[in-house]
A = this chain, B = another copy of it.
Amino acid sequence: MFNLATIYDIAKEAKVSTTTVSRALNNHSSVNHKTRKKIIELAEKHGYQPNSKAKSLATKKSWSLGVLLIDDSDSGLNHTLFANIINSISKTASKRGYELTFLSKNLARSTVSYLEHANYRGFDGVIVANTNINDPHVNELIKNVKFIACIDQNHSNAICVNYKNRDGMEMTLNHLFSKGYRNVIYIHGQLDNYVTQERLIGFKETAKELNIERKCKYIEGEYTSPQKAYDITRRIIKEGLPDAIVYSDDYCASGGLRCLREHGINVPKDVAIMGYDGVEISSLITPSLTTIYQDTDRIGEVVTENLINSIENNRSHGYIIELPVSLILGETT
């Protein structure tokens, strides 16, 4: 880029001080109408743009938000649910005038922690969207950043916007039960993950209420993927089919579905299956998935609005917002 005009150039040409230029350009009331007009004209003539660094340096406000997505595996934006959420966060941030920047562990020529990146950059706030709970850097970040919001996490000092994970599993199991399925296998995510824990609680409590605890089985999918789900499903087929299989997300369910079909097993006649998330693919595959819909537009909007409000009101304290989920009836149950 070329050398851009500064406030000095304009001040000189308008024969006023930089203060006046600054005031005119920032809509301070106390500027003579004519002076203001002249300054604004000159600014346009020169295509003047303020310099964000100088401005932030002076005001201590960056108009930028950091967002943390796990970055050391492929589960960042490649997971549709999170891509959709980030899309919504980005839109909402933009609507409020904030930029969105990804947090990272590499900066210039060195390796840093997320907290160091955040401090270096001076974000006005940070959103933790999807992350590896075992990374101590994530905890350090959440504990030490003043304006912080999380999705599907549990931290007392952060704004936590979570889906009602327990409700989701309650709906799942009640639905299966109402359709007559009793023996259910739940292929869940990693146990050290908050979401998994909540869903398991929801599942187990409902199983107890329905009095089918004994008929339910759990398999930890660890790192889940369509292929992994495919493999687990094959094992299940060998060991004997249950009435229904619940997968940790729609992608896994689609992998499982493919396996079942390849083995000539009819869904839902021979076995029912359910996904989770309600991302686009759930309605595009055949048979379409019965799944739990999580509104990604809504969660992105809520988490971003709440964070920005807390920044602009300068009130930082943790609280929880829970967002409802709903069941989408597909052809697999």
Give chain A's interface residues, CB within 8 Å of chain B. Answer: 1-2, 4, 47, 49-54, 56-57, 62-64, 71, 74, 76-78, 80, 83-84, 86-87, 90-91, 93-97, 99-102, 104-110, 116, 118-122, 144-146, 226, 251, 254-255, 257-258, 261, 280-281, 284-286
Q: Could you say which residues of chain B place their CB within 8 Å of the CB of A71?
A: 90-91, 94
Q: A51-B122, A99-B107 are in contact. Are A251 and B87 (CB under 8 A)?
A: no
Distance in Å: Cβ of A176 to nearest Cβ of chain B: 23
Q: Which residue of B lies closest to A2 (CB)?
A: B146
Instruction: Kindly state the separation between the CA atoms of A108 and B100 in the bound complex, as whole angstroms.
Output: 12
Q: A52-B121, A78-B84 are in contact. Are A90 and B102 (CB under 8 A)?
A: yes
Instruction: Kindly state the separation between the CA atoms of A68 and B189 in the bound complex, as whole angstroms.
Output: 34
Distance in Å: Cβ of A220 to nearest Cβ of chain B: 23
Do the beta carbons of B4 and A284 come within 8 Å of each other?
no
Q: Which residue of B lies closest to A116 (CB)?
A: B49
Do the beta carbons of B78 and A83 come within 8 Å of each other?
yes
Do the beta carbons of B284 and A286 come within 8 Å of each other?
no
Instruction: Kindly state the separation between the CA atoms of A146 and B56 in the bound complex, as whole angstroms.
Output: 24
Instruction: Kindly state the separation between the CA atoms of A121 and B55 in the bound complex, as whole angstroms.
Output: 10
Q: Would you list 13 pairs from A and B whose C-beta atoms are within 8 A, ordered by A residue?
A: A53-B56, A53-B57, A53-B62, A63-B108, A90-B102, A94-B104, A94-B105, A97-B108, A97-B110, A254-B284, A255-B284, A261-B286, A286-B286
Among A1, A64, A94, A109, chain B packs the most CB atoms within 10 A around the CB of: A1
Which listed residue (B52, B93, B109, B226) contacts A122, Cβ 8 A?
B52
Q: Beyond the given A52-B120, A52-B122, A285-B285, could you list 8 further A-B residue pairs with CB under 8 A, ordered by the A residue number?
A: A53-B122, A54-B57, A57-B57, A64-B101, A78-B87, A94-B102, A99-B102, A286-B286
Do the beta carbons of B105 and A102 come within 8 Å of each other?
no
Q: Could you say which residues of chain B place their CB within 8 Å of the CB of A104?
A: 90, 93-94, 99
